[in-house]
Amino acid sequence: MVGTAIFFMIFVAPKYGNRTVLVYITICSTLGSFTVMGCKGVGVAIHQTLHGQNQFTNWLTYVFLSAVIICILVQMNFLNRALDIYNTAVVTPIYYVFFTTCVIVASLVLYKEFFSMSTKDIFGFICGFLIICMGIFQLNAFRDVNISLKNLPNAHRDQLPKVSLNGGSMNQENTDEQRLLENDSICAKDYHDEDDSHPI
Model confidence pLDDT, tens digit, residues 117-158: 888 888 888 898 888 888 877 776 676 666 666 666 654 444
Question: What does the pLDDT read at residue 177?
Answer: 54
Give the pLDDT confidence score for residue 200 in this predicted structure. 46
Region class of 119: left (phi > 0), else alpha (psi between -120 and 50), else beta? alpha
What is the spatial distance between Cα 142 and Cα 163, in angstroms, rounded to a whole number? 30
Residue 180 exposed, middle or buried by CB count within 10 Å (0-12, 13-18, 19+):
exposed
Q: In sequence order, what are the residues at sequence separation of 6 or more whose Cβ sits closer than 8 angstroms to the Cβ of residue 62?
A: 56
Q: Which residues contact 49 (CB under 8 A, 6 or more apart)?
A: 55, 56
Return the pLDDT at 130: 87
- Helix, strand and coil in the chain, % to nearest 5: 75, 0, 25
Q: What is the CA radius of gyration of the chain?
A: 31
Q: What is the pLDDT of residue 187?
A: 57
- C-alpha 84/C-alpha 68 separation (Å) is 24
pTM of the model: 0.62
Q: What whole-number distance in Å separates Cα of residue 166 and Cα of residue 157?
A: 20
- Which residues of the chain are under the pLDDT cut of 50? 155-160, 163-173, 191, 194-200
Q: What is the pLDDT of residue 181?
A: 57
Residue 178 confidence (pLDDT): 58
Q: How far, in Å, CA of 119 to CA of 183, rounded?
A: 72
